[in-house]
């Protein structure tokens, strides 16, 4: 199993290399000449050329890519064109809100979606099942920001139960923090819940037809224990896989949700960077998000061996 883990970790290296190459090319072909920007309006073409040489911008693509990767690996993501702050510092300042939002959404979505899928599979063909499947189609169809606005309108503006927007740091207490994140989490969780509930239902339907479920029923196991102990355990692998893949939805959705609810996180940083064409920041954020995404799925692959002892590598 150790050999498998090593192999699996090594397999992520080419994937991350492709991501890095893509993200680097992004800056490489980005319009605008950094040398000309630094030289300013008064500079002669000679000045610009000198700055270009001193920055190493005149060297071949692969040499620059190699150096850039070397810097990234040491944690140096470059400097923002707009604020002149190191990109890593800007990202560090914005991590907490985004991480809070995503973790809360993850917990919320999994704890709602899995029971939904299980019940839908148990009561296949009934009204409950149809309601769950209908909800899933809706979840896939109504975009994150639409759900966000509807929720904010009902629960913040009309009912005045929760704050309309903003973010309170976790340092200022758990409940103020939670209060600000409930609506964004529900909005962000919609698609994610739909995805997980669908897969849970489909896998459970398959598992519930297995012989060992009949055996469990025959020996007198209770309905709850059959569903959640015997069946769900055996349906876990596809469900956990989809939870991992769905993190991409969370990341993409966070960018929008943070805009709707004015949460000062990485999503807002991305949007601001795009509007200002701040390429080093865009680069850094994409690199970070992709890295997290790859890491999550790597951990899940390794987790399989733990949750399902039948899997042996």
Partner 1 sequence: MSATALRAPLDTAPAPTPQSVAEAAPLPDVLPPVTPRRGFIGFLRRNPTIAIGAGLLLLMVFVAAFAPLLWTADPTSLAPARRTREPSAQYWFGTDMLGRDVYSRVLYGARVSLLVGFSVALLSSAIGLAIGLVSGFVRWADGIIMRIMDGLMSIPPILLAIAMMALTRASVQNVIIAITIAEVPRVSRLVRGVVLSLREQPYVDAAVAAGTRTPRIILRHILPNTLAPITVQATYICASAMIVEAILSFIGAGTPPIIPSWGNIMAEGRALWQVKPYIVFFPAIFLSITVLAVNLLGDGLRDILDPRMAKSV
**Neighbour tally for 152: CB within 10 Å:** 20
Q: Site map for partner 1, 85-114, x if CB under 8 A?
A: ------------------------------
Which of 62, 275, 306, 312 is in the footprint of partner 1 by CB under 8 A? 275
SS3 per-residue string spanning the chain? CHHHHHHHHHHHHHHHHHHHHHHHHHHHCCCCCHHHHHHCCCCCHHHHHHHHHHHCCCCCHHHHHHHHHHHHHCCCCCECCCCCCEHHHHHHHHHHHHHHHHHHHHHHHHHHHHHHHHHHHHCCCCHHHHHHHHHHHHHHHCCHHHHHHHHHHHHHHHCCCCCCCCCCCHHHCHHHHHHHHHHHHHHHHHHHHHHHHHHHHHHHHHHCCCHHHHHHHHCCCCHHHHHHHHHHHHCHHHHHHHHHHCHHHHHHHHHHHHHHCCCCCHHHHHHHHHHHCCHHHHHHHHHHHHHHHHHHHHHHHHHHHHHCCCCCC
Q: Site map for partner 1, 48-77, x if CB under 8 A?
A: ------------------------------
Which of 153, 161, 212, 313 is in the footprint of partner 1 by CB under 8 A? 153
In this structure, are residues 280 and 87 in contact, taking their beta carbons and an 8 Å threshold? Answer: yes
Nearest partner of 272 among 259, 283, 261, 284, judged by Cα: 259
Q: Could you say whether residue 19 binds partner 1 (CB under 8 A)? A: yes
Which of 24, 167, 177, 279 is in the footprint of partner 1 by CB under 8 A? 279
- Find the binding residues for partner 1 in span 230-269 (CB under 8 A): 248-249, 251-253, 255-256, 259-260
- Find the binding residues for partner 1 in span 198-227 (CB under 8 A): 198-199, 202, 206
Q: Could you say whether residue 290 binds partner 1 (CB under 8 A)? A: yes
Among residues 149 and 155, whose Cβ is nearest to partner 1?
Answer: 149
Q: Could you say whether residue 138 binds partner 1 (CB under 8 A)? A: yes
Interface with partner 1 (CB under 8 A), residue total 55
- Those residues whose C-beta lies under 8 Å from the C-beta of residue 96, and which sit 6 or more positions away, are 169, 170, 265
* Phi and psi, residue 303, nearest 5°: -60, -30
Which of 36, 43, 69, 146 is in the footprint of partner 1 by CB under 8 A? 146
Which of 286, 302, 305, 308 is in the footprint of partner 1 by CB under 8 A? 286
- Find the binding residues for partner 1 in span 118-137 (CB under 8 A): 137
| Sole window of 35-43, 79-87, 140-148, 221-229 interacting with partner 1 (rule: CB under 8 A) | 140-148
Which of 113, 144, 186, 193 is in the footprint of partner 1 by CB under 8 A? 144
Among residues 51 and 81, whose Cβ is nearest to partner 1?
Answer: 81
Q: Could you say whether residue 228 binds partner 1 (CB under 8 A)? A: no
Among residues 51 and 94, whose Cβ is nearest to partner 1?
Answer: 94
Q: Which two tokens stand for residue 57?
A: 């911008």
CB of 225 to partner 1, least distance (A): 26
| Sole window of 78-86, 180-188, 286-294, 303-311 interacting with partner 1 (rule: CB under 8 A) | 286-294
Taking the C-alpha atoms of residue 287 and residue 99, their distance in angstroms, rounded to an integer, is: 16
Q: Which residues bind partner 1 (CB under 8 A)?
A: 14-19, 21-23, 26, 29-31, 137-138, 140-146, 149-150, 153, 157, 164, 198-199, 202, 206, 248-249, 251-253, 255-256, 259-260, 270-271, 273-275, 277, 279, 282, 285-286, 289-290, 293-294, 297
């Amino acid at each position: 199993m150790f050999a498998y883990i090593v192999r699996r970790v090594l397999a992520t290296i080419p994937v991350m290399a492709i991501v890095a190459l893509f993200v680097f090319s992004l800056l490489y072909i980005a319009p605008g000449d950094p040398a000309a920007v630094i030289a300013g309006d008064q500079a002669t073409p000679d000045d610009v050329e000198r700055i270009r040489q001193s920055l190493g911008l005149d060297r071949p693509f692969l040499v620059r890519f190699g150096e850039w990767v070397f810097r990234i690996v040491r944690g140096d993501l470059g400097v923002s064109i707009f604020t002149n702050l190191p990109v890593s510092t800007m990202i560090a300042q914005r991590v907490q809100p985004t991480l809070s939002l995503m973790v809360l959404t993850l917990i919320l979505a999994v704890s709602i979606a899995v029971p939904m899928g299980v019940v839908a599979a148990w009561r296949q063909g009934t009204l409950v099942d149809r309601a769950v499947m209908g909800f899933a189609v809706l979840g896939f169809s109504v975009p994150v920001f639409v759900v966000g606005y509807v929720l904010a309108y009902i629960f913040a503006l009309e009912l005045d139960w929760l704050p309309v927007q903003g973010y309170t740091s976790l340092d200022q207490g758990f409940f103020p923090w939670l209060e600000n994140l409930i609506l964004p989490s529900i909005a962000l969780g919609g698609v994610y819940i739909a995805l997980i509930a669908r897969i849970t239902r489909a896998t459970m339907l398959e598992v519930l037809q297995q012989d060992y479920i009949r055996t469990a029923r025959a020996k007198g196991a209770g309905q709850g224990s059959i569903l959640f102990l015997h069946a769900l355990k055996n349906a876990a692998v596809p469900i956990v896989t989809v939870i991992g893949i769905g993190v991409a939805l969370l990341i993409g959705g966070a960018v929008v949700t943070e805009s709707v609810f004015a949460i000062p996180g990485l999503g807002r940083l991305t949007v601001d960077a795009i509007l200002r064409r701040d390429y080093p920041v865009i680069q850094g954020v994409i690199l970070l998000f992709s890295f997290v995404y790859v890491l999550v799925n790597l951990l899940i692959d390794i987790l399989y061996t733990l949750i399902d002892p039948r899997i042996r590598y």
